C-alpha cells in the first residue's frame, strides 16, 4: 500500500493495478478512536477505563489539530502519548482518575500542530474558495486574484504545477471570449494585469480541479462583484466554459463540511460520487451539480441585495 503514487517509479507503477481507497471521515476516525484505539492503548499501558477519561471534544481536537492523515496511525500515537503521561501522573501523583478535555489537552500533547481553516469570514471581491484533494484527504483553498493597471500580463504564484497554470490560462481565455456577457471591459487583456495567488506558497499544488475557482475569482476581480463566502467549488474548466469532472469528490465535500461551508458546486458528471457522501453531510449543506461556468457564476457571485441566507 502507498499514500501517494507520485513517489512510485513509473516503470514499477506501470506493472501495478492501482486501487484507490478513500481515507476515513472525521466521524469514522472518532468512532475508531473511542471504540478500538483507546481501549487497546489503555490495556497496553496497564490502565483501566476508570483511570483515564478522554472527552469527545478532546478526541475531535486530536483528530483535527494534531493529525493530518487519511488513516489513524498518527492518531493512535497521540492517544498512546496521553496514556503514558496519564500513567506517570497516576504513579507519581497518586491520582485515581485522569480527565483529558479540550481545555487541558495541550498539557499532554503540546501546542496544536495544525490549525483548522475556518474559511472566508466575509464576502470579498477576487477571493473564491476551492477544494483540493491530497494524500491526507480533502483541503480547502482560498484562491486570490488582484487586477491592476498593466499590459495584459498574467502572474501565477503559490508553487503551481504546469497543469494548474494551464487551467488558469484556459479560464482567462474563457473570460476574454465572453467579456461582454460577463460585464467586463473588453480591453482588460490589454490594459490590466492579473495576479492569481494560491496561499501556502511553500506547498506545491497541481491539477485541473481549481479551474472554475480561479476563473470565478478572476471574473469577480474584473467585474468588482464579490464571491459568496459560504460557497466552495471544484471542477475543470474548458475554453467554452464547460465544467468537467474531477476526482476526490468525497474528500473535498468533507473538507467543505468541516469548515462550515453551506453550498458546494461540483461538476454534473460527478453525480455518481454523491453516493459515497454520508447522509449527515448531505443534509447539512446544499450540493449543486453544474455543467457550465454560467451556472457556477449564478450561484457564486453576489448580486446587489443578496444576503448570506439566500444561497
Q: Which of 225, 229, 250, 252 is catalytic?
A: 252
- Max CA pair span of the chain: 77
Exactly one of 142, 209, 218, 220 is catalytic; name it. Answer: 209
The 3-state secondary structure of 44-61 reads HCCCCCCCEEECHHHHHH
Q: How many beta carbons lie within 10 A of that of residue 145, not counting itself?
A: 24
C-alpha cell at 72: 489513524
CA distances from 297 to 34, 119, 175, 293 (A): 43, 19, 12, 6
How far CA 108 is from CA of 6, 55, 60, 63, in Å, comes to 35, 14, 15, 14
209 is catalytic: yes
Say whether 252 is catalytic. Answer: yes
C-alpha closest to that of 250 among 228, 272, 269: 272
| Extended strands (E) in the chain | 52-54, 98-100, 127-134, 137-149, 154-157, 192-197, 231-233, 236-237, 243-244, 263-267, 286-290
User: What stretches of 50-95 adopt beta strand conformation (E)?
Assistant: 52-54
Helix axes 211-223, 293-300, angle to 10 degrees: 60
**What are phi and psi for residue 237, nearest 5 degrees?**
-110, 145
**Positions marked active-site:** 209, 252
Amino acid at each position: 500500500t502507498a499514500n501517494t503514487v507520485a513517489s512510485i517509479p513509473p516503470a514499477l507503477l506501470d506493472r501495478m493495478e492501482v486501487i484507490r481507497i478513500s481515507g476515513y471521515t472525521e466521524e469514522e476516525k472518532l468512532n475508531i478512536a473511542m471504540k478500538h484505539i483507546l481501549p487497546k492503548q489503555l490495556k497496553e499501558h496497564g490502565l483501566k477505563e476508570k483511570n483515564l477519561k478522554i472527552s469527545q471534544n478532546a478526541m475531535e481536537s486530536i483528530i483535527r489539530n494534531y493529525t493530518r492523515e487519511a488513516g489513524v496511525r498518527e492518531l493512535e500515537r497521540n492517544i498512546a502519548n496521553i496514556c503514558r503521561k496519564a500513567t506517570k501522573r497516576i504513579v507519581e501523583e497518586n491520582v485515581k482518575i485522569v480527565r483529558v478535555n479540550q481545555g487541558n489537552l495541550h498539557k499532554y500533547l503540546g501546542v496544536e500542530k495544525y490549525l483548522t481553516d475556518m474559511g472566508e469570514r466575509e464576502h470579498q471581491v477576487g477571493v473564491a474558495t476551492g477544494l483540493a484533494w491530497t494524500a491526507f484527504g480533502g483541503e480547502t483553498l482560498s484562491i486570490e486574484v488582484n487586477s491592476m493597471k498593466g499590459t495584459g500580463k498574467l502572474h501565477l504564484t503559490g508553487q503551481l504545477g504546469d497543469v494548474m497554470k494551464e487551467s488558469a490560462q484556459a479560464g482567462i481565455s474563457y473570460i476574454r471570449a465572453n467579456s461582454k456577457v460577463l460585464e467586463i471591459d473588453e480591453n482588460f487583456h490589454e490594459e490590466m494585469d492579473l495576479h492569481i495567488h494560491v496561499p501556502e506558497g511553500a506547498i506545491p499544488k497541481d491539477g485541473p480541479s481549481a479551474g472554475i475557482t480561479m476563473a470565478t475569482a478572476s471574473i469577480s476581480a474584473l467585474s468588482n462583484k464579490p464571491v459568496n463566502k459560504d460557497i466552495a467549488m471544484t471542477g475543470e474548466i474548458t475554453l467554452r466554459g464547460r465544467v468537467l469532472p474531477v476526482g476526490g469528490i468525497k474528500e473535498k465535500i468533507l473538507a467543505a463540511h468541516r469548515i462550515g461551508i453551506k453550498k458546494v458546486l461540483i461538476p454534473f458528471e460527478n453525480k455518481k460520487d454523491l453516493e459515497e457522501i454520508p447522509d449527515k453531510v448531505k443534509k447539512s449543506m446544499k450540493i449543486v451539480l453544474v455543467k457550465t461556468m454560467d451556472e457556477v457564476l449564478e450561484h457564486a457571485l453576489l448580486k446587489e441585495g443578496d444576503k448570506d441566507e439566500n444561497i
